[in-house]
């Protein structure tokens, strides 16, 4: 095997390259399936619709408008990134945090209540969002650690409990004529996160705040904690085998609870940096948890369960979700982008299978090549 072939072989076996390749295939297949669905619904506008979804803010011919709506996409992607990190952190420790949606809800309720009702500044509201969401995550962790209750079951139950508790709490600060909470911009401007001049980079979009760079920094921090610290090593060791971790002197129950608390705190942080921009108000009559938490699962797996990868996957998921608002409403509903996201989510489940299949294919190819070279040597 020459040097060029060896280099190509090493690239194909590189875990990072395999993850990127699998994720790109998921995206392309998801878009293809979405396009086929558009063709079935109405073939006349399928091409324009899929193009509008992919283009998102580039739909606007004006550069000023495009930059402004690009900023809005970044704000939403930042919140999604935190939910993705919440799922990823727990998964790396052998836990499936499907409760990120409920933890996100608690974070939203906490920051809005502290901001509107109590008149607290933005950093206090953000801390409250993180702490209360961490407590909700810790409940699932404690049930897992002490009673061996499956975290998936406890998280799903807490999602709905969290939603209705937050709805009841925030009825105290809702507008009289609408089911939405009072706007931070009109009740307590100190609760709005500072822009630090970032709004000017996006055509005066006041919703682009400190939260966007903070979310990226949190992704890097999660990677450092998991990969470069003793604490992260202990958490992952507990996830691999809690009994072995116990006999090695690790406090496995504490690690499980801490993992879920950190995961919950990350989701709460996402809610805080989203709602403290003033971009949205909470509707106290909603009967379903926000999709942000569940989309975080897709972003985590699409990003190859790597904190840095989730930065890009979270943006992509939010990009096509926001792009759905630009399709022709007379032909298609805006939820068509959610359908495409759902297909990608489904295909994300095959990322690990694809990597296993690729490695098996490479192993068989190497075996055949070795056998052929051996026969040539004997001859």
Q: pLDDT tens digit string along 175-214?
A: 999 999 999 999 999 999 999 999 999 999 999 999 999 9
> What is residue 326's three-state secondary structure?
helix
Q: Over range 255-274, report the average pLDDT.
A: 97
Tokens 């209540």, residue? 113
Residue 334, classified by CB atoms within 10 Å of its CB into exposed (0-12), middle (13-18) or buried (19+), is: middle
Report residue 86's pLDDT band, with 50, 70 and 90 as the boundaries: very high
**How far is CA 163 from each of CA 13, 127, 271, 333, 338, rounded to the nearest angstrom?**
44, 20, 13, 26, 22
Beta strands (DSSP E) in 187-319 are none
> Residue 256: is its pLDDT beyond 90?
yes
Average pLDDT, the chain: 90
Residues 42, 237: contact at Cβ < 8 Å? no
pLDDT attached to residue 377: 63
C-alpha to C-alpha distance for 374 and 356, rounded to whole angstroms:
27
pLDDT attached to residue 376: 67
> Residue 104: is its pLDDT beyond 90?
yes
Report residue 362's pLDDT band, with 50, 70 and 90 as the boundaries: confident
CB neighbour list of residue 331: distance below 8 Å, 6 or more residues apart: 41, 42, 44, 45, 49
- Per-residue pLDDT tens for 61-71? 899 999 999 99
Predicted structure pTM score? 0.91
C-alpha to C-alpha distance for 86 and 266, rounded to whole angstroms:
5
CB neighbour list of residue 311: distance below 8 Å, 6 or more residues apart: 81, 216, 219, 303
pLDDT attached to residue 141: 97
Report residue 302's pLDDT band, with 50, 70 and 90 as the boundaries: confident
> Residue 41: is its pLDDT beyond 60?
yes
CB neighbour list of residue 83: distance below 8 Å, 6 or more residues apart: 100, 101, 104, 266, 267, 270, 292, 293, 295, 296, 299
The answer to whether the Cα torsion of 161, 166, 167, 172 is positive or negative is positive
C-alpha to C-alpha distance for 373 and 328, rounded to whole angstroms:
60
Q: Which of 261, 323, 249 is nearest to 77 (CA)?
A: 323
Position with higher pLDDT, 95 vs 328: 95
Torsion of CA 54, 56, 57, 59, to 10 degrees: 80
Long-range contact pairs involving 335-342 (C-beta distance under 8 Å, separation at least 24): 336/34, 336/37, 336/38, 336/49, 336/53, 337/53, 338/291, 339/34, 339/37, 340/30, 340/31, 340/33, 340/34, 340/53, 341/30, 341/295, 341/298, 341/317
Position with higher pLDDT, 352 vs 99: 99
Position with higher pLDDT, 9 vs 224: 224
Topology classification of domain 14-348: ABC transporter involved in vitamin B12 uptake, BtuC (1.10.3470)
Domain ranges of the chain: 14-348
> Residue 6: is its pLDDT beyond 60?
no
pLDDT attached to residue 3: 56
pLDDT attached to residue 1: 54
Report residue 338's pLDDT band, with 50, 70 and 90 as the boundaries: confident
Terminal C-alpha separation, the chain: 18
Q: CA-based diameter of the chain, in Å?
A: 90
């Amino acid at each position: 095997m020459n040097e060029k072939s060896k280099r190509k072989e090493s690239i194909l076996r590189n875990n990072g390259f395999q993850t990127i390749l699998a994720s790109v295939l998921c995206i392309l297949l998801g878009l293809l399936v979405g396009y086929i669905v558009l063709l079935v619904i109405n073939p006349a506008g399928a091409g324009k619709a899929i193009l509008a979804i992919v283009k998102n803010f580039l739909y606007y011919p004006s550069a000023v408008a495009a930059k402004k709506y690009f900023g809005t996409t970044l704000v939403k992607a930042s919140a999604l990134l935190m939910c993705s990190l919440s799922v990823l952190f727990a998964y790396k420790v052998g836990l499936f945090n499907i409760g990120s949606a409920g933890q996100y809800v608690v974070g939203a309720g906490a920051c809005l209540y502290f901001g509107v009702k109590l008149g607290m500044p933005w950093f206090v509201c953000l801390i409250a969002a993180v702490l209360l969401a961490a407590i909700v995550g810790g409940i699932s962790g404690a049930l897992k650690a002490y009673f061996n209750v499956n975290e998936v079951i406890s998280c799903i139950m807490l999602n709905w409990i969290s939603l209705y508790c937050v709805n009841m709490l925030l009825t105290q600060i809702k507008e009289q004529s609408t089911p939405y909470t009072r706007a931070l911009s009109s009740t307590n401007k100190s609760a709005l996160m500072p822009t630090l001049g970032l709004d000017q980079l996006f055509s005066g979009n006041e919703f682009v705040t400190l939260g966007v760079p903070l979310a990226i920094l949190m992704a890097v921090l999660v990677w450092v904690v998991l990969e470069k610290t003793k604490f992260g090593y202990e958490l992952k060791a507990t996830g691999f085998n809690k009994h072995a971790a116990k006999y090695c002197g690790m406090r496995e129950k504490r690690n499980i609870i801490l993992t879920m608390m950190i995961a919950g705190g990350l989701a709460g942080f996402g809610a805080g940096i989203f709602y403290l921009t003033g971009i949205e108000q909470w509707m106290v009559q909603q009967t379903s948890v926000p999709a942000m938490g569940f989309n975080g699962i897709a972003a985590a797996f699409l990003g190859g369960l790597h904190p840095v990868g989730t930065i890009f996957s979270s943006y992509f998921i939010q990009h096509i979700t926001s792009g759905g608002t630009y399709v022709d409403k007379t032909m298609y509903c805006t939820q068509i982008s959610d359908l495409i996201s759902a297909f990608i989510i489904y295909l994300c489940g095959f990322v690990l299978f694809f990597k296993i299949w690729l490695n098996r294919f490479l192993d068989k190819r190497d075996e055949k090549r070795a056998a052929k070279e051996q026969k040539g040597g004997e001859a």
